[in-house]
């Protein structure tokens, strides 16, 4: 494969979490092209939380990009670039569900959308859950908590009803682990 080289990166818009860039790329044929790039400055963590009865905690919330509600594993961005993603995962689990994980284990890391974004999400398995209180949501958040069987979630993934990359990856990683 011949080398593609970035010759210029221009910040187009700086948001609170994301930076949008226009990259000028030099292609192997000598032509220049403009490519979009989104930098996710913080990174994130998500949690597949398994209750003592074996059911998996899921959150249902509205997602503006899709203009509908989605069913997802609890997740959120790190508070700083130096925050350990395990701390982020525990915090998001507690904030979104009111549960604390007695055991938190990293399953995998993933890049959510490699074609145009560098977001990194660490996926954790949370077990030994204890209900410690109510949700602690941001003012703009409205999240419903649901409990699901692994088989039903896998069926929804295969049917295309669950399409969120971090959620599908978390479910499939957990399912593979259960079959070991």
Burial group, residue 28, by CB count within 10 angstroms (0-12, 13-18, 19+): exposed
Q: Catalytic one among 96, 134, 139, 141?
A: 139
E strand or H helix that includes residue 88: helix 85-97
- The Cα 180–Cα 175 span in angstroms is 9
Side by side, which strands form the sheet with 5-14?
Answer: 5-14, 18-26, 32-40
Q: Which residue has the tokens 């905690």?
A: 57
Active site residue 139: yes
Residue pair 150/158 in contact by the 8 Å Cβ criterion: no
**Active site amino acids:** 139
């Amino acid at each position: 494969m011949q080398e593609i080289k970035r010759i210029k990166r221009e910040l187009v818009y700086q948001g609170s979490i994301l930076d949008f860039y226009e990259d000028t790329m030099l292609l192997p044929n000598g032509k220049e092209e403009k490519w979009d790039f989104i930098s996710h400055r913080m990174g994130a963590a998500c949690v597949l939380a398994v209750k003592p009865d074996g059911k998996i905690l899921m959150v249902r919330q509205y997602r503006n990009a899709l203009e509908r509600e989605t069913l997802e594993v609890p997740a959120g961005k790190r508070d700083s670039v130096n925050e350990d993603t395990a701390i982020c995962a525990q915090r998001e689990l507690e904030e979104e569900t009111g549960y604390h994980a007695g055991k938190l284990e990293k399953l995998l890391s993933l890049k959510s959308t490699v074609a145009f974004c560098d977001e990194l999400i660490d996926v954790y398995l949370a077990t030994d859950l204890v209900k410690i209180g109510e949700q602690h949501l941001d003012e703009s958040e409205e999240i419903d908590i649901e409990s699901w069987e692994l088989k039903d979630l896998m069926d929804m993934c295969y049917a295309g009803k669950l399409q969120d990359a971090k959620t599908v990856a978390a479910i499939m990683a957990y399912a593979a682990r259960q079959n070991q």
